Structure 1
Amino acid sequence: MGPTEWTAREEVGVGPWSGEWPADDRYDPDLLAGGDRRNVMDAYRYWRREAIVADVDRRRHPFHVAIENFQHDHNIGTVVRTANAFAAAAVHIVGRRRWNRRGAMVTDRYQHLEHHPDVASLAKFATERGLSIVAVDNTPGAQPVETAVLPRECVLLFGQEGPGLSEEAQASASFVVSIAQFGTTRSINAGVAAGIVMHTWIRHHADLSSAW
């Protein structure tokens, strides 16, 4: 018969499975019995986390996202959540390993994450895999992302809120892109900037017929 919706407005997700359980090992018996309140697409309701990750892996996009984390930037959670929404290959944390996961809204469970102690380590990773590093910062000489052509296989590299990209990060990049601004602020939130550039990649390269 399929899932039953919660009747209480404050509940999120679906209640226990109604009727005969599906004979499919992608489904989690605990979720079928107790309901699924997770922040996942309806197509993944009641699925085991490993099954969801495996399904997304079949259609992940060949762009990676990297963000510097030398001052415990609180935007990393938002970057991870957006990367998950666009099915990025992986998110790379450069610098400190620990970061505030609250903004990720549990999407980090379904998104591949990698850590690099410094920019040199990230650059080595990119070189070994034939990935171009595209740095994002409003610096002199940067190409407007609105007109730039982003490589299909690349690492989109973002700096921290405030100081922006480090000199090492800019030096590691094949080129730098900027985001057009028209107001008074010197820069925009790093999480917002990441979303804009990731969506630019989607517009250039993604098969939109495969979107939810």
Structure 2
Amino acid sequence: MRRDERDDDVGVGPHPEPWPTRDHYDPSLLRDGDRRNVADRYRYWRHDAIVADLAATANPFHVAIENWRHDNNIGTVVRNANAFGAAGVHIVGRRSWNRRGAMVTDRYLQIHYHEDAAALAEWAAGQDLHLIGIDNLPGSVSIHEHPPPERSVLLLGQEGPGLSAPARKAVRATLHIPQFGSTRSINAGVASGIAMATWVRVHRPGPR
């Protein structure tokens, strides 16, 4: 277990005997306790069993973010993608990023890398996914009035400048999150959570 995943104040202790015997359980976790940051339904499960179950039950949307300047929000985007059951995370540009903000959730998701927006668009088209930009650009439409399609890739731009010029050309549509204050934009990690929550509200409204 990774050091940053261990916290004796969370999780559960050793499982009472007799132990469950199904294959997805991890004997060492049953014996020692499960202190990982996982949902209760995954307590005592093997890591690979959790990954397989998440992949089998994932929602049919992906999330992508451009990473030209080592964006520190990527960890938050990954953590949000895990929480909302995204099928995968795509990083466009630089492959290196600070995983600290992901809080180990990157171990449970597929992370894809693309050289540029055109490569991401080509991949999305091959998977029959709509590439949708999330940015408050002129001409964008409200995500409340026009939520993303069920099969989509939600592409966020770099913190600050937003979607790059090539990304703006690659997306099929651009949606913005309505704002009412004085700030020009909201944090990219926050925007990703709002966009994914909107997808879930529209396409998967029932409890999980």
TM score, norm. by length of structure 1 = 0.92
Q: Percent identity?
A: 57
Give the Cα separation in 2 of the matches to 1:32 and 1:68: 40
Aligned equivalent of 2:86, options 88, 94, 98: 88
Q: CA deviation at 1:10?
A: 5.8
Q: Size of the alignment, in residue pairs?
A: 202
1:58 aligned counterpart, secondary structure: helix
Aligned equivalent of 1:182, options 180, 183, 205: 180
Show CA shifts across 1:23-57 (max 9, x none): 11101111111111000011111100111111122
Q: CA deviation at 1:164?
A: 0.7
Aligned twin of 2:168 = 170
Unpaired runs of 5+ residues, structure 1, are 1-8
Aligned equivalent of 2:194, options 193, 196, 204: 196
TM score, norm. by length of structure 2 = 0.94
Aligned twin of 1:133 = 131
Give the Cα separation in 2 of the matches to 1:10 and 1:115: 34
Aligned twin of 1:5 = none
1:208 aligned counterpart, secondary structure: coil
Aligned twin of 1:38 = 36
Aligned twin of 1:123 = 121
Show CA shifts across 1:80-133 (max 9, x none): 011101110100011111111111111111111111111111011011111111
Q: CA deviation at 1:58?
A: 2.0
Show CA shifts across 1:139-184 (max 9, x none): 1100011101321101000001111110011100101011111111
1:150 aligns with 2:153: no
Unpaired runs of 5+ residues, structure 2, are 1-6
Are the aligned partners of 2:26 and 2:44 in contact in 1 as well (CA < 8 Å)? yes
Aligned twin of 2:4 = none
Q: CA deviation at 1:207?
A: 4.8
Matches within 5 A, 1:6-25: 11-25=9-23
Are the aligned partners of 2:147 and 2:198 in contact in 1 as well (CA < 8 Å)? no
Q: CA RMSD in A?
A: 1.2
